[in-house]
């Protein structure tokens, strides 16, 4: 551990670095907090499935969805750990990753078929339809990040519009991603649709940590699920799915919330 975060620790982070508990002071003391977006070593994440669980517990979450890029490989191993960690609800998922759009399929263990990197509108539409038929909720991820890619900036490839995505059947939008990707435009757009009675079904708004490397990233957003006391007794995926489908979320975003992980590691290394 002498080189700290500079050594290549992908898949080899020591477990002791997850032995902490922290929560932003903006969060209500009681609440049910969900992270809709996380990666492990099955794609480009640094954590093992078990470390992904530990990281979410350390950061005050009550539930999270594992969403590796275009693979469901770590869903089975992570779900096998559910009994060992009853304090958190582990939800399988899949990040359908293309150049034009990233979609999180929440609640399914895998997604069949080839994924075209530069997908057409028809391919995006049929993926949304298929995922929903499989029982997933479909979340549009980090529009502001996707649109900031140089290719998209040049107008060569285009992100589908929010109106198209609504028409194609998505269930929700991630409006804060990772540490800084905020998307207030989606919030305003939905608000306007609601005011004009043009929103025909509930659409959830959510946040995702999109954690890849916990030694470089920290949490700045939490999705609070507004569950009933009855639902809180057993907050399993079907309860969470229902709450999301009904748009029962509150988003907490704290961009000031910061603790360099290097400091934490150094402190630990001294003991």
Which residues of the shown chain bind Zn ion in the complex (CB under 5 A)?
A: 95, 102, 141, 210
Shortest Cβ 216–Zn ion spacing (Å)? 15
Shortest Cβ 214–Zn ion spacing (Å)? 14
Comparing CA positions, the residue from 71, 176, 160, 148 lying closest to residue 118 is 160
Cα 109 to Cα 107: distance, rounded to the nearest angstrom: 7
Beta carbon nearer to Zn ion, 45 or 227 = 45
* Nearest residue to the partner Zn ion, using Cβ: 102
Beta carbon nearer to Zn ion, 100 or 102 = 102
Beta carbon nearer to Zn ion, 67 or 231 = 67
Cα 52 to Cα 54: distance, rounded to the nearest angstrom: 6
Contact 38, 210 (CB under 8 A): yes
Shortest Cβ 177–Zn ion spacing (Å)? 8
**What is the chain's Cα-based Rg?**
18
Cα 78 to Cα 135: distance, rounded to the nearest angstrom: 19
DSSP state of 86: T
Shortest Cβ 140–Zn ion spacing (Å)? 10
Tokens of 126: 């049929």
∠203-209-215 over CA atoms, to 5°? 175
- Any residues with CB less than 8 A from the CB of 181 and at least 6 apart, and which? 142, 144, 145
Shortest Cβ 142–Zn ion spacing (Å)? 6
């Amino acid at each position: 551990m002498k080189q700290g975060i500079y050594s290549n620790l992908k898949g080899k982070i020591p477990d002791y670095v997850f032995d902490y508990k922290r929560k932003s002071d903006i969060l209500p003391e009681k609440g049910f907090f969900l992270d809709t977006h996380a990666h492990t070593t099955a794609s480009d994440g640094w954590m093992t499935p078990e470390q992904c669980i530990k990281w979410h517990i350390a950061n005050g979450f009550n539930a999270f969805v594992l969403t590796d890029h275009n693979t469901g490989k770590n869903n089975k191993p992570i779900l096998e750990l559910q009994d060992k960690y009853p304090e958190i609800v582990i939800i399988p998922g899949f990040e359908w990753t293309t150049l034009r759009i990233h979609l999180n399929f929440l609640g399914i263990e895998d997604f069949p078929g080839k994924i075209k990197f530069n997908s057409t509108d028809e391919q995006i539409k049929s993926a949304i339809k298929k995922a929903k038929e499989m029982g997933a909720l479909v979340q549009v991820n980090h529009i502001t990040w996707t649109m900031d890619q140089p290719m998209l900036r040049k107008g060569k490839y285009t992100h589908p519009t929010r109106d198209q995505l609504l028409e194609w059947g998505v269930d929700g939008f991630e409006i804060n991603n990772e540490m800084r990707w905020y998307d207030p435009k989606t919030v305003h757009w939905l608000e306007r649709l609601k005011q004009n009675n043009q929103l025909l079904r509930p659409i959830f708004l959510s946040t995702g940590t999109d954690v890849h490397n916990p030694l470089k990233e920290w949490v700045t957003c939490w999705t609070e699920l507004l569950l009933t006391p009855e639902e809180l007794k057993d907050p399993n995926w079907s309860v969470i799915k229902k709450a999301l489908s009904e748009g029962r979320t509150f988003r907490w975003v704290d961009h000031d919330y910061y603790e360099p992980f290097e400091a934490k590691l150094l402190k630990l290394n001294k003991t």
